[in-house]
Amino acid sequence: MEELIERFRESLESLDRIQAHALFKQAQLGLTPIEAVEQLVVPALNQIGAAWQAGSVALSQVYMSGRFCEELVEQALPFSDPDRKNQPRSAIVVLSDYHLLGKRIVYSVMRASGFELFDYGRMEVDELVERVLIDNVQVLLISVLMLPSALKVREVSERLRARRASIKIGVGGAPFLLDDQLWQEVGADAMGHSAADAAGIVQRWMEEMR
């Protein structure tokens, strides 16, 4: 797998879309689409992010890698599964920043696992709080990749709870991976390391709500 990740990363960095598609297909010979995303796409993008931080790749390469991977994920992950479950009203959002791929994956995995949820796209705090109240959302999943965005979760949580919204908030993304206390500090109810965690978290809350 390590070698495949390296070749995939190289194809992204050299903007070789055809090779990236071929390697992603190759990974799916032994893995489900979501496993291929989690085990190939996510580590390759993380390595590219680290290389950018170290100054060895340009932001344009990071950007195009993200775009190529969005295409792959879009094609590979199903939008829906007919076998829906009895579930709380749920929504997913990217709060404030422009890193959308993680949310896209979590959304697909949730839907593929049988969960129906609103996709709010990208929102700022004010709009998000209003939408959650209007839609009577009980489970809110928030994805962020920038620390300033992660800190805004606290405002969302405080404002919703002040207006007596009975809500569970699950968070994920890079800042929460780097600081394992952060999700509690910003008033979330749970944090997930991967897209697969999201379905488990909501399942657990459903059992608690019964």
Please tell me whether residue 66 binds ligand B12 under the rule CB under 6 A: yes
Per-residue interface string for the shown chain with ligand B12, residues 186-205, x marking contact by CB under 6 A:
------x-xx-xx-------
Handedness of CA 153, 157, 159, 165 (dihedral sign): positive
Name every residue whose Cβ is closer than 8 Å to that of residue 207 and which is 6 or more positions away in sequence.
Answer: none
Count of residues that interact with ligand B12, criterion CB under 6 A: 37
Q: Is the dihedral of CA 91, 95, 100, 105 positive or negative?
A: negative
Helix 59-76 crosses helix 17-27 at what angle (to 10 degrees)?
50
Q: Strand runs (DSSP E) across 59-138, as ranges? A: 90-95, 118-123
Beta carbon nearer to ligand B12, 9 or 82: 9
Q: Which is nearer to ligand B12, 74 or 158 (CB)?
A: 74
Pattern 106-145, ligand B12, x by CB under 6 A? x----------------------------------x-x-x
CA distance 198 to 178: 18
Binding span for ligand B12 by CB under 6 A among 3-11, 63-71, 74-82, 154-162: 63-71
Helix (H) / strand (E) containing 130: helix 125-135
Using CB under 6 A as the binding rule, whether residue 33 contacts ligand B12 is answered as: no
CB of 83 to ligand B12, least distance (A): 21
The one among 72, 113, 152, 173 contacting ligand B12 by CB under 6 A: 173
Amino acid symbol at 28: Q
Q: Which one of 4-12, 46-54, 75-83, 124-132 is the stretch in contact with ligand B12 (CB under 6 A)?
A: 46-54
Q: Does 147 bind ligand B12 (CB under 6 A)?
A: yes
- Choosing from 32, 53, 136, 166, the residue that interacts with ligand B12 (CB under 6 A) is 53
Least distance (Å) from ligand B12 to the CB of residue 148? 7
The b/e string for 187-206 (b: 16+ C-beta within 10 A; e otherwise) is: bbbbbbebbebbbebbeebb
Tokens of residue 101, six digits = 């791929």
| Secondary structure string (H, E, C) spanning 3-26 | HHHHHHHHHHHCCCHHHHHHHHHH
Please list every residue from 3 through 32 that binds ligand B12, using CB under 6 A: none
Q: Which residues bind ligand B12 (CB under 6 A)?
A: 38, 42, 45-46, 48-49, 53, 59, 62-63, 66, 70, 97-103, 105-106, 141, 143, 145-147, 170-175, 192, 194-195, 197-198
